[in-house]
Structure 1
């Protein structure tokens, strides 16, 4: 029997979602014992009182338990570069008392095995005869529960709470004992971020809520809410457990807004012994119901009350009225196109070594995402806790959740069933959250039968829950029945490409897109875009005040100091950071220029501390800025609305005319009518030299043509760096690019130096006469041990050299003093920009470690932090009575086709012909000769 009740009656009935006196927190001191030899079961430790104490929630490692780190530490995670174990340069870091490993953050203590936790609880008389639920919000990992020495059950999930209901607990004292085993007993993959030392650490313990709750005889087991945006209703399915009263029971359902006001009419279901334990109801939300999306994260609460005689239980679920689905090659939210601008979150929590369980930290994470223009987070091979979903709901973040795996699947092993079961647990626990929009098994699976297995898993998910979209896994495989796929491309560099990637092999331009790569039958979301490295920020070391320490950074800092460049650490960070930002800008803009593209997932907005130390973030592992790019700047090229210019090249001559198309990618809340789109060209000091505007309707899509920017460079007589900017006035969305204009006809340099390719007798004779000598060392002439084996490319290092078997390039861009007179006719900042592409793409590094300790080249190459060599491509010094300039970039070949190289050479010649050419340091010619063949 069903009937509607008055609003007042329901409001008074539903004042709270659980009575306080029905809940008992178990947070605090627990008895504890390590069981490294796994003898506890045999010796029945569950019947004994344990000797040590520990605080829960927490991990045993953060409280000083476990083993010291050393050579024999059984790490959870693959180590590709094992040189730390035997290489001479790491010898001092393998010594007791000075153990420092370079491949990830170092825990104070490490422990893989069994630990026991025990607590005596007092059950009040008022709970007599009632079911009692134990909740352990997150354990790591396999947990066996004992009550008064009797085994009650086992929990294998990495993603969801362990809840066990005791049918009855007699009043008085009882002993709870937990056996927690963090060994990889189920093959989820040792690199999976759900378990790995690469990121969170393989911790052992219990975190989050730990409590006992007394239930009525009939109670709510689960509530699932299925929104329908077409008729603005929800279908609520409530699963009950326990015993229905002889006089019947009732279930009351009510929708509320965030402010507590009631939506629609309350709903009551009368339950009798023949009703069954699953109840279903459809509730109308009214014509004024508000949708949930990234633009309008409107939330509602469904309050449910089960009454059974005099007893009752209340539970609440937050939900949003939304529909997230695929439509062609794009996603839609409530019928509106979506472009995913995402980053990975790989379970990186350096202070605790385990994920944050509180709303505050997740708000910090998502606030940084939004500040940098992102609307999406992929949880790579793990599933976050409740707080992550709740905060994402309130902020409008689209989440991709994964079933904790990076493993072989489809071979019929136990893990195949485990992933199936884990997905059930995840969908049941977090399925109501509107932010939970996407789901995959995990990352990059192995196995000959992976496609068949994952296709079957997708069919299973779709058969039970259509509230989100599903795919096989991050990276691969493509399967026909997926809603979308997440391939290794499109992006401007993939694993193994190195010098053949778009950004290293092609001259700089901003007119490329990935239209020929995306699938035409489903949305394509590019997998792990970016992976561009930056030099370590050694000031970050002091932030590691918790369970993990940045001893890998300490190694890198020490080796930099040994190479006499400790004073350059901040400059290396800033210069490499600006190059990193440029690489991410190129990747993201390429995605935004691609028609029909569904989005990207960055690796990463913040650093990934594992897999060899992958410093790929513009933020550090604490989600904090490093000082070389602000969120405001980053969001100029990564946002809901972004102006884009398709430049065929970035270096121009003054006898050319700029004529380039301006377009807009617009994925705002709604279309814009008659938008005012402006453009400007200005010089380095901010003086405006050209401007224009277009009026254009902007639908919700990308590749919207606005018009062409046209400007003749004929009036520019000197080498000039220009800034081209474009803005959508209605949204304040502004983007900009640097371009360079050089004279087509070079000035004649009257006082030419002696130019040579070797410091031979003739060159030495010129120096002895007091002449100037320009030594041009052609690429390939540098000896391997002096830099000839260092792969120099334009981009920064991809991921890191330790994990990629030294995939090129091996450097992090240039560092120079832009005010140095040698660069006066080659406008530059102190870091790499596109005018340097030609030079660093046609050069060898020169290793200058044998030069005087305080010697600095005119143009540094920033080395890999694992080696920290003093590198340069342009240096100067006094030799004998003369003055010498040495360049290892190609300044001789096809200069008529290489305007940047020609201009760089011109700048050097003008400097050497001037009175300003007066190197401050004298150099031994033997040092110069030792560089080349």
Structure 2
């Protein structure tokens, strides 16, 4: 052992004696020129000195270069709703000096084309005879390199660093010139998040590391590490480059622990340049080696040192000892079942307009993901920089990486070859990271030959590298040789479903799952579940202090003000946010109830700023909370261990008995023996009504039956909202649901109002005499222009109406004052919950824009932020000497089968019969009549 330590210490000493000047940072000021007409190559700009200046790393747009946004701006990205270009509604936002587009965040400057970057470098005499490597961590996009006016090479990758090695540079001054072209010259798709204005923006520049490094004559080109958990070894493949004139060139490998200790003996081999430029060596990690997973993200470092001609180079690679593979319909990590709880990351970086290359920001991202119960991130149609992998390694996240595409594939064009080469670059650059667990070509491809092309691409990946699972693409197609299917189902609502989706078409319950969709031969991971919208957080606009501005939010703020509701912005956000949270809870719990399911990918945990403005996140684009749900609450239904109840319905009568099965989804680090599962039923005040417990072994899986909750509801005399909760004591996992219990037999209401469907002469006469009138406007009676054409459903808006051609619903739930006496016998919060499902599913919105500016209905609908109309389904006011209540939800039909509708009617009637019915606003009857008659 002493002999090996001496070898190691000698190499450490040599390393310490390396020349300190073997690396130069090129960050800082560069000369610069825009090449708007792409004349630089023909005019040989690489031979002249450029005159403008710019700072790298960075983009030209964030430094004031480019064009102001206008009607002719050549955006990179599809625009579905083009009304901004011609609609009178947007006319004032198309005027010079007031340009504001609603499609996505607006850059201060926009530029698509060629730009030139130039810098003088000074090669020291000590580098004489050494190869010199230039590294540009990420360019956007196509880059051509010139040295002293001579073309050196090109780079087309969107995902990996550009490294160019000069065989030898003479000491003294040299001029580097870069031509960077951010046009979509290769068909990766204008909506791909690797290039699109939808999210990061189509920027031009260089970010991350920019440096020159002097290499020894023999140096390391690549290191790949292939773990074998069965015998706890790693196979190390080291590729060398360069030349040597000595016969005793050596390569030393040593595995180091996180605390700095070493594992085993240093392994040293002699390198023969004629036959040994690629070395494959197996190293033992020892019986005590620790495995990597989400639960225990144990990391090791491989140190590689090559010595030749008295000079050496050392490189380090971080790796984890792990195996990620499919087994039946599930994934396993190190033979342990895993359930992917994921979100998309669509290259959303609003301050810079390009992805972060520092670890601090990625730490924030993954910390928020972990706080909200996630263990997985899908990088939709792009590949992140090195820092994203390194932080995911340290925190135990499973990443799905994609090859920068959202395009047509398989038609034989150059992009087919490019995607294959890009995947090779990604596997080489990031393949050692244990977090890099899944890979796909990109998103939702087109093309008649896509299955054949993607099947061959998967075979190509498997022939090179079996360290991860591979699939065709996000969404489709299904390919038989894939390791898993990233399927558009299961989820409770999809594109085109609208009011036909589970959450809108069926009465609320929590007993559905998607077992019928799961394929038996491979894991199914659901693609882009959720997409539930929330009203814009207008206070968020102050955060946009970088290259992108929320001018789309400025439009929404102005139209809200035009409709005299600026004071309701925060209330709209909170109310719609609570409904959004409920929808995500329903989606995630359905996934956790599905036997054999492999996982889901949310769209999204944070907002997607493009495609018309898709406010689908419970976090904003900065990964910050919006104020209506915390990670603590969200992780009650999205976590390693989640208690679940299969409720057949959420609204009950007090002559029924609650009898519901409890089950557990448990994907923790290990099985639990004799776990204590406690349940409780309480009222809104927190008074405990019933409780019980079960003892159950919890293997690592889902759909584990725990027992049944049985509780007679006969003791609930008043209309009540109850909270049913279940807790797994050992994991401190608690989940809860609201249910509603109404009297089966209602008390008679004395002094009923006059109930009518029209303000005819008889009704007006009654009002003139001071009577109370309940005007019930049945669904279908509201004029189209007064709300009849607004499609109301229970859920919030899916994705956004500008991108889905107004897929319903068109609203974001209800807003009300829960203390309003009209709702006294209809327990509610100030926002939608399941007791509102029947009512909003059987109603028309009433457009109240012509009512007094400060008028507020009793129950308001939160409108689409693109239109910001004042909408109501329950309102009141004085007319003449009488008092009027108007409801556009169906409170008449089949009430014996619709307990929530019957109970709201009862609550309204009791209110109208009481002295508390005393509206403060006088209404013009013509405004009311205009809602339903010409």
TM-score under structure 2 normalisation? 0.99
2:489 and 2:879 mapped to 1: Cα distance?
51
2:107 alignment partner in structure 1: 107
Q: Tell me the equivalent position of 1:355.
A: 355
* d(CA) in 2 for partners of 1:11, 1:34: 52
> Aligned to 1:564, what secondary structure does the other structure show?
coil
Residue 741 (structure 1) aligns with: 741
CA distance in 2 between partners of 1:8 and 1:289 (Å): 24
2:445 partner SS: coil
Which residue is 1:116 aligned to? 116
Shift of 1:561: 0.3
Per-residue CA deviation, residues 847-888 of structure 1 (Å, 9 max, x unaligned), is 000000000000000000000000000000000100000000
1:704 counterpart residue number = 704
> How far, CA to CA, are the matches of 1:273 and 1:800 in structure 2?
60
Partner in structure 2 of residue 641 of structure 1: 641
The change in CA–CA distance for 1:729 and 1:594 in structure 2 (over 3 A counts) is same
Counterpart position of 2:218: 218
Equivalent position of 1:64 in the other structure: 64
CA contact (8 A) 1:133 1:212 kept: yes
- Alignment of 1:917 onto 2:917: yes
Aligned position for 1:323: 323
Question: Once the two structures are superposed, what CA deviation does each residue of 1:649-675 show, in whole Å capped at 9, x if it has no partner?
Answer: 000000000000000000000000110
Q: CA deviation at 1:275?
A: 2.9
Match of 2:775 in 1: 775
Residue 6 (structure 1) aligns with:
4
Structure 1 gaps of 5+ residues are none
Structure 1 residue 909, shift from structure 2 partner:
0.1
Deviates more, 1:793-802 or 1:271-280: 271-280
* Partner residue, 1:166: 166
Alignment of 1:406-805 (within 5 A): 406-805=406-805
Is 1:279 matched with 2:284? no
Task: Name the counterpart of 1:850.
Answer: 850
Q: Shift of residue 369 of structure 1? A: 0.3
Partner of 1:451: helix, strand, or coil? helix
CA contact (8 A) 1:559 1:868 kept: yes
Q: State the shift of 1:327 in Å.
A: 0.1
**C-alpha separation in 2, matches of 1:419 and 1:19:** 40
* Counterpart mapping for 1:143-162 below 5 A: 143-162=143-162
List alignment gaps of at least 5 residues for structure 2: none
Is the 1:7–1:262 contact (alpha carbons within 8 Å) kept by the matching residues of 2?
no
2:673 counterpart SS class:
strand
Aligned partners of 1:4 and 1:266 also within 8 Å: no
- How many angstroms apart in 2 are the aligned matches of 1:273 and 1:777? 88
Distance 1:264 1:395 in 2: 26
For each residue in 1:186-207, what CA deviation from the matched residue of structure 2 results, as whole angstroms up to 9, or x when unmatched? 0000000000000000000000
| Alignment match, 2:891 | 891
Whether 1:77 and 2:55 are equivalent positions in the alignment is: no
SS of the equivalent of 1:677 reads strand
Secondary structure, counterpart of 2:517 in structure 1: coil
Q: Residue in 2 aligned with 1:52?
A: 52
Inter-partner Cα distance in structure 1 for 2:905 and 2:576: 24
Deviations 1:257-311 (A, max 9, x none): 1111001111011112433310010000000000000000000000000000211
Structure 1 residue 247 displacement after superposition: 2.6
Indicate how the Cα distance of structure 1 residues 468 and 11 shifts in structure 2: closer, same or farther if over 3 A, else same: farther
Tell me which moved more, 10-19 or 53-62. Answer: 10-19
The change in CA–CA distance for 1:20 and 1:794 in structure 2 (over 3 A counts) is: farther
> How many angstroms apart in 1 are the aligned matches of 2:765 and 2:908?
21
Give the Cα separation in 2 of the matches to 1:766 and 1:673: 71
Q: Distance in 2 between matches of 1:10 and 1:330?
A: 43
Rounded Cα–Cα distance in structure 1 between residues aligned with 2:453 and 2:838: 48
| Structural RMSD (CA) | 0.9
Matches of 1:773 and 1:273, distance apart in 2: 97
Match of 2:154, SS state, is strand
Q: Deviations over 1:149-201 (max 9, x none)?
A: 00000000000000000000000000000000000000000000000000000
1:247–1:309: 8 Å Cα contact kept in structure 2?
no
| Structure 2 SS opposite 1:474 | coil
Give me the TM-score of the superposition, normalised by structure 1. Answer: 0.99
Residue 297 of structure 1 is matched in structure 2 by: 297
Question: Are 1:680 and 1:726, in contact at CA under 8 Å, matched by a contact in 2?
Answer: yes
The change in CA–CA distance for 1:364 and 1:19 in structure 2 (over 3 A counts) is farther
Helix, strand or coil for the counterpart of 1:343? Answer: strand
Structure 1 residue 246: deviation in Å? 2.6
**Superposition deviation, residue 8 in structure 1:** 4.5
Assess if the C-alpha contact under 8 Å between 1:14 and 1:305 holds in 2.
Answer: no
For the residues of structure 2 that align with 1:326 and 1:556, how far apart are their CA atoms?
A: 46
Partners of 2:608 and 2:7 lie apart in 1 by 53
1: CA distance between counterparts of 2:489 and 2:836? 26
In structure 1, what is the Cα distance between the partners aligned to 2:565 and 2:632? Answer: 32
Q: Check conservation: 1:4, 1:265, Cα contact below 8 A.
A: no
The aligned residue for residue 136 of structure 1 is 136
In structure 2, C-alpha distance between the alignment counterparts of 1:526 and 1:109, rounded to whole Å: 37
Matched residue pairs, number? 931
Distance 1:8 1:790 in 2: 80
8 Å Cα contact 2:350-2:621 kept in structure 1: yes
